[in-house]
Amino acid sequence: MPFYHKLGSIPHKRHTVFEKETGGLYYEQLFGTEGFHGVASLLYHTQRPTQVKSISEPKDITPIAAVGKNISSRMLRGFDVKPTDDFLESRVIVMFNNDLNIAVAAPKKSLTEYFYKNADADEMIFIHKGSGKLRTLVGNIDFSYGDYLIIPRGMIYQIQFDSEDNRHFIVESFSPILTPRNYRNNFGQLLEHSPFCERDLRAPHELETHDENGDFLIKIKKENVLHDVVYASHPFDVVGWDGYNFPYAFSIHDFEPITGRVHQPPPVHQTFEAHNFVICSFCPRLYDYHPKSIPAPYNHSNIDSDELLYYVDGDFMSRNHVEKGYMSLHPGGIPHGPHPGAMERSIGQKVTEELAVMVDTFKPLKLTQAALDMQDEDYVTSWL
C-alpha cells in the first residue's frame, strides 16, 4: 500500500528486543512481497509463526481451459453459479491467463473451520451481495455491498458473513494490485485529480490477538496447488504491527466519476492496476454536456486487450439486455460497441445509474467449462 499504517503495540525501534509483560519476548516477522524490495509490514507475534505440525498431500486446483484461443464475444450469467457452503469451494474460475484468475462465488457459510492463505496472488473480492467482516492476522475490516476487498498475497484470513445470501466477483492477481500510477505522485500519494483518495480506503481497525496452542488448519494455495498445513499456534496472535503491506477496503460508491463535454474513454474509470491488466469502476454519473454529445460509447477495436465487464446494478446504456451478475467478454482483435438502438437512445439523456466493474487484460483470456455452461449462446450475433 502507498501509505503507512500501524495497529496494536510495537517497540520503539525495529529489530530490537520487545518484552512481554508476563516475561519472555515477542517474535518479529517481516511480512512483505517481492523479496526485500516490495512493500512490507513488521508483525510482532506472541508465538513463533513457524510451528508446523503436519502437511497434507497437495491438491491440484489448476484451472483448465475449455476455450483457449477465443475471438467470440460472450455474455455469461454469473448468478448461475450455485450457492455453496464452503468459502473456497464456492469460487468458480470462469477465465484466466498467466496474469490472473477471474472467478464468481456464492458462499453461504462463514469461513471459520480453517484459515486461508493465497500465496500465489493478491485478491480483489468485490462484494456484490452480502455484508460481514474480513478477519486477518493484522486486523479486521467490516464490509458491505459495493466494497472492493484488496487482500495482499500471503495474508492469513477468515471471513464472517451476516447472512447466507452472498455474491462475489473475484480477481486473483499474480502481481501486486495497486492504485493507478497516473493518480499517484512520486511518493505514492493520490493526487488531487484522482477519483478517490486515501481517506476513502479503509485499513484494518480491530486487532484480534489469540495466544493459543492447539491444531490450527491453514489452507495455503501455492502454484495452483492447495496444501493443508496444521500449525501449533493460533495464526491471529499478533499484538501489533506497522508498515505498508495490509488489506484494505474501498467502496465503489466512493469512486467519484470524471466526466466531460463529450464521451470519456474507459481509462478515466480506472481504479486499480497490476501487471498486464487494469480494473475500472463504472458508476452513476452525469452524462456528457456538449449540446450534440452522444453519451453511449463509440465503437472501438480491442486489438491488444480483452475486455470483461461485470454488471452490478442499474441500466447499462450500451446493452439492450443485461441483468445483475452478467459478464460480457469482448476479446482482442475485433471491434465492439453499443447494441442497435443504444446510441440513439442515449442522445439527450442527462444521467446514468449504471454500476459495473471492468477488467481489461493485455493478454488473452482463456475460458473454463464453467464459463461455457453459463453463457448466452445468442450474444455473439446480438448486433445484427
Across the range 238-264, mean pLDDT stands at 96
pLDDT classification of 210: cutoffs 50, 70, 90: very high
Whether 281 and 354 have beta carbons less than 8 Å apart is answered as no
Of 18-32, 200-214, 307-321, the range with the lowest mean pLDDT is 307-321
Nearest by Cα to 48 from 25, 71, 69: 25
Rounded Cα distance between 156 and 55, Å, is: 17
Across the range 184-189, mean pLDDT stands at 92
Give per-residue pLDDT as tens, 229-238.
999 999 999 9
Rounded Cα distance between 21 and 164, Å, is: 42
- Percent of the chain predicted with pLDDT > 90: 90
Q: Any idea of the CA torsion for 360, 282, 127, 371, to the nearest 10 degrees?
A: -40
Q: In sequence order, what are the residues at sequence separation of 6 or more whose Cβ sits closer than 8 angstroms to the Cβ of residue 320?
A: 339, 340, 341, 342, 382
DSSP 279: E
Question: Taking the chain, what is the end-to-end CA distance rounded to the nearest angstrom?
Answer: 46
- Predicted local confidence at residue 68, as pLDDT: 83
- Predicted local confidence at residue 108, as pLDDT: 98
- Predicted local confidence at residue 326, as pLDDT: 96
Give per-residue pLDDT as tens, 46-93.
999 999 999 999 999 999 999 888 899 999 999 999 999 999 999 999
Give per-residue pLDDT as tens, 285-334.
999 999 999 998 999 988 999 999 999 998 877 787 889 999 999 999 99
CATH topology of domain 253-381: Jelly Rolls (2.60.120)
Q: What is the DSSP string of 85-153?
A: SSTTTT-EEEEE-SSEEEEEE-B-S-EEEEEEEESS-EEEEEEEE--EEEEETTEEEEE-TTEEEEE-T
Position 188 pLDDT exceeds 70: yes
Q: What is the DSSP string of 29-60?
A: EEEESTTTTS-EEEEEESS-TT-EEEE---EE
The phi-psi region of residue 377 (left if phi > 0; otherwise alpha if psi is between -120 and 50; otherwise beta) is alpha
- Total-model pTM: 0.96
- Predicted local confidence at residue 67, as pLDDT: 87
Nearest by Cα to 374 from 339, 330, 327: 327
| φ, ψ for residue 363, nearest 5 deg | -130, 145
- Cell numbers of 233, please? 499456534
**Unique residue bearing C-alpha cell 491471529:** 236
- Predicted local confidence at residue 1, as pLDDT: 60
